[in-house]
């Protein structure tokens, strides 16, 4: 159970900090080297995942520095696979999703800071997560940043912000009984506001087929700019089509923290409806991209919609160099390119 939030507890908003948008300038990107073999199905899948992570790390390193957290006995392997293009941070790890177990970095006048959310492996999906629960704090200590321990079970992939006070999230994730069963929606909103600086929270519904993360928003929708949200649109035959339509309905009825109506950009998702090695729906999503300085690193799925998605994102983010990286071996583990990265702002 999460701890209480008392009136005199330190929190970012009271100290002048807030979570910036992902397109704000970064000092580096954090990643974690794959280490939980079971999520990739077999030894071949595990190897392919490592190769895919290395491709993403090398792609991002063309735009900004990358630090790869790695277990000490995996350091040589990670260094070789990434061709020496990343800095290694040796520490204990249970899994490899830096977005979710890593810190949410903050900006403000008081120097470096970040939020360490309570982490319970996506609603206790995995038995061993003690090291991942400590990972955010270890990163912040390494960066000599002020640590704010949030009394909320949350993962970085569960929230997305516009940098101007608006946050989007899914009912399916943060209102799930496996996360915060003792908290009301209002109490969750209060914690999100105090620890990210959000003044307006837009809840986008539920019903998505993603059982691994319980419908993380970063696979469904994200900000392209303040007042503008990209939403992934699956094929009509996909079970996520109707929930995606509900996301669009909610956004079009909403106003952001600045009082603006929200513009929706529809992004066709992969045409192919496939399953992963567990026979679950493969969580392929073009929304799950990452914005390093001056670039956009997005997934390719060997799908007819790969180029369509690239063109739409190029229009959303003019002036950025776009690198499209094969991500099929990453999504076999339950996440995408955004899920394996975490930005550290300037």
Supply the DSSP string of 114-147, one letter for each residue: EEEEE--HHHH-SS--HHHHHHHHHHHHHTT-EE
What's the confidence (pLDDT) of residue 4?
66
Dist CA 143 CA 320 (whole Å): 28
Instruction: Quote the pLDDT of residue 10.
Output: 84
pLDDT of residue 9: 77
Q: Return the pLDDT at 237.
A: 97
Contact assessment for residue 67 and residue 98, using Cβ atoms and an 8 Å cutoff: no
222 is an active site residue:
no
Question: In sequence order, which residues have a C-beta less than 8 Å from that of residue 30 and are 6 or more positions away?
Answer: 66, 67, 68, 69, 98, 102, 139, 341, 342, 343, 344
pLDDT for residue 290:
98
Catalytic residue among 32, 154, 222, 339: 339
Distance from CA of residue 53 to its chain's centroid?
15
Say what the pLDDT of residue 7 is.
59
- How high is the pLDDT of residue 284? 98
Distances (CA, A) of 332 to 53, 147, 172, 345, 346: 12, 33, 21, 29, 33
In the prediction, which pLDDT does 6 show?
Answer: 64
Tell me how far apart the alpha carbons of residues 50 and 42 are, in angstroms, rounded to a whole number.
Answer: 13
Inter-CA distances, 265 with 120, 123, 222, 244, 260, Å:
33, 31, 10, 12, 15
148 is written with which tokens? 């704010």
Token pair, residue 324, equals 């499209």
SS3 label, residue 101 = helix
- Identify whether the C-beta of residue 151 lies closer than 8 Å to the C-beta of residue 183: no
Q: For the full predicted model, state whether its pTM sits above 0.75.
A: yes
Q: What is the pLDDT along the chain (346 residues), one digit of tens a residue?
A: 566 666 567 899 999 999 999 999 999 999 999 999 999 999 999 999 999 999 999 999 999 999 999 999 999 999 999 999 999 999 999 999 999 999 999 999 999 999 999 999 999 999 999 999 999 999 999 999 999 999 999 999 999 999 999 999 999 999 999 999 999 999 999 999 999 999 999 999 999 999 999 999 999 999 999 999 999 999 999 999 999 999 999 999 999 999 999 999 999 999 999 999 999 999 999 999 999 999 999 999 999 999 999 999 999 999 999 999 999 999 999 999 999 999 999 9
């Amino acid at each position: 159970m999460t701890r209480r939030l008392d009136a005199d507890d330190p929190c970012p908003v009271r100290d002048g900090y807030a979570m910036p948008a992902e397109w704000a300038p970064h000092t580096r990107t954090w990643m974690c080297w794959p280490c939980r073999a079971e999520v990739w199905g077999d030894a071949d899948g595990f190897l392919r995942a490592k190769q895919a992570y290395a491709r993403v790390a090398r792609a991002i390193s063309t735009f900004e520095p990358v630090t790869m957290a790695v277990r000490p006995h995996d350091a040589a392997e990670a260094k070789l696979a990434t061709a020496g293009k990343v800095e290694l941070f040796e520490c204990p790890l249970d899994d490899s999703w830096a977005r979710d177990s890593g810190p949410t970095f903050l900006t403000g006048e008081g120097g470096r800071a970040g939020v360490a959310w309570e982490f319970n492996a996506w609603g206790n999906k995995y038995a061993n997560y003690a090291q991942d629960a400590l990972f955010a704090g270890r990163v912040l200590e390494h960066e000599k940043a002020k640590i704010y321990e949030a009394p909320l079970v949350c993962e970085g992939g569960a929230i997305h912000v516009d940098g101007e006070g608006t946050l989007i999230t899914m009912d399916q994730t943060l209102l799930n009984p496996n996360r915060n069963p003792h908290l009301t929606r209002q109490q969750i909103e209060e914690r999100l506001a105090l620890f990210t600086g959000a003044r307006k929270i837009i809840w986008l519904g539920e019903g998505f087929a993603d059982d691994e993360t319980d419908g993380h928003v970063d696979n469904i929708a994200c900000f392209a700019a303040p007042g503008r949200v990209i939403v992934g649109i699956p094929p009509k035959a996909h079970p996520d089509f109707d929930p995606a339509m509900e996301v669009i309905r909610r956004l079009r009825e909403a106003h952001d923290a600045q009082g603006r109506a929200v513009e929706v950009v529809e992004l066709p998702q992969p045409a192919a409806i496939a399953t992963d090695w567990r026979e679950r729906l493969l969580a392929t999503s073009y929304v799950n991209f990452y914005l390093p300085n001056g670039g956009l690193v997005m997934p390719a799925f060997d799908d007819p919609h790969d180029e369509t998605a690239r063109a739409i994102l190029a229009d959303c983010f003019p002036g950025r160099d776009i690198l499209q990286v094969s991500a099929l071996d990453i999504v076999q583990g339950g996440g995408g390119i955004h899920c394996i990265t975490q930005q550290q702002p300037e």
